[in-house]
Amino acid sequence: MGDVADVGARMLVISDGDPLSAEATAERLGRAFFDLRHAVTRTYPGLSECLARAAGRSGRVVLADMSDNSGDGAPGDSTYVLDAILERGDRDVAVGMIFDPGAVAIARDAGEGTTLSLRIGGKLEAASGQPLDVTAEVKAVRENCSQHLGSAREPMGTAVWLALPGRVDVVLNDVRVQVYHPEVFTQLGIDLRSKRLIAVKSLFHFYTAFAALASEIIFCATPGRLNCNFETLTYTRRSIPLWPFDADPWADA
């Protein structure tokens, strides 16, 4: 849903030399899909609601930070989720991955076992939020990391495990990529079995690999560039009617 003049859905029909039939079929299918708009549109809960819901569960919860999914073009360095977790005082949490090459380099140079003050995330754009100043122990640094996506392996670059107070473990890395697999955490030595909450920057691709770990998976409309509640987004360039901003884009058709 990019902010461009012709943003919106399209229906493509290919016919065998009959453009009028193709046009009529495209309109019929397009209107049928539009009639399903409420059935196929999902509204996701916000961050405060999701963290409160997770806190009330007895099992392990995986929370998807959907709005900072780099696979859709988000910066991957937003700090909203981690900031809220620290503000709430939540414990036994794993958060990853925050894209921050500068902080990765500092932690790598400091070395494993070092405790240092570090400013992480919130650096790439306005939707990234504010950088967080934390005091953390560098528990592990691994170069040339990767994670499985099906049978393939996706590079993660250099990854760092930061241990924050309250048994809050954070993974930083220097290749912008969403979370697909628990290996994001476990290859650094983080024991996800000890975690009550695992927050991942991903949209849907993480689901299969993390489902075995979770008593519940929460898809969260976190603050950020790619909020999945489309009605919250601002479009300044669109030139055609667009639902849900226009009640019925077909009205003038």
CA distance 86 to 93: 10
Please tell me the predicted confidence (pLDDT) of residue 148.
97
Please give the model's pTM, rounded to 2 decimal places. 0.89
Please tell me the predicted confidence (pLDDT) of residue 72.
87
| Any domain includes 214 | yes
| Any domain includes 82 | yes
Please tell me the predicted confidence (pLDDT) of residue 2.
78
Please tell me the predicted confidence (pLDDT) of residue 189.
98
| Any domain includes 189 | yes
| Any domain includes 34 | no
| Any domain includes 40 | no
CA distance 88 to 197: 13
Number of domains in the chain: 1
Please tell me the predicted confidence (pLDDT) of residue 143.
98
Exposure class string for 122-141: b at 16+ Cβ within 10 A, else e? bbbeebbbebbebebbbbbb
| Any domain includes 234 | no
Please tell me the predicted confidence (pLDDT) of residue 1.
61
Task: Write the CA distances from 28 to 13, 38, 163, 208, integer angstroms.
Answer: 11, 18, 56, 36
**Does residue 42 or residue 193 have the better pLDDT?**
193
CA distance 213 to 235: 38
- What one-character DSSP code corresponds to residue 225? T
Give tens-digit pLDDT for 206-249: 999 999 999 999 999 999 988 887 788 888 998 888 888 887 76
CA distance 81 to 86: 9
Angle between helices 47-55 and 80-88 (to 10 degrees): 50
Per-residue tokens: 90? 């939540």
| Residue that the structure tokens 């709005």 belong to | 67
CA distance 150 to 154: 10
Please tell me the predicted confidence (pLDDT) of residue 252.
54
Q: 78 is in which domain, residue-wise? A: 47-228
Give tens-digit pLDDT for 165-203: 999 999 999 999 999 999 999 999 999 999 999 999 999
| Any domain includes 28 | no
Give tens-digit pLDDT for 98-138: 999 999 999 999 999 999 999 999 999 999 999 999 999 99
Q: pLDDT above 70 covers what percent of the chain?
A: 98
Q: Following DSSP, what letter does each residue of 86-139 receive, concatenated?
A: HHHT--SEEEEEEE-HHHHHHHHHH-TT-EEEEEES--SSGGG---EEEEEEEE
| Any domain includes 78 | yes
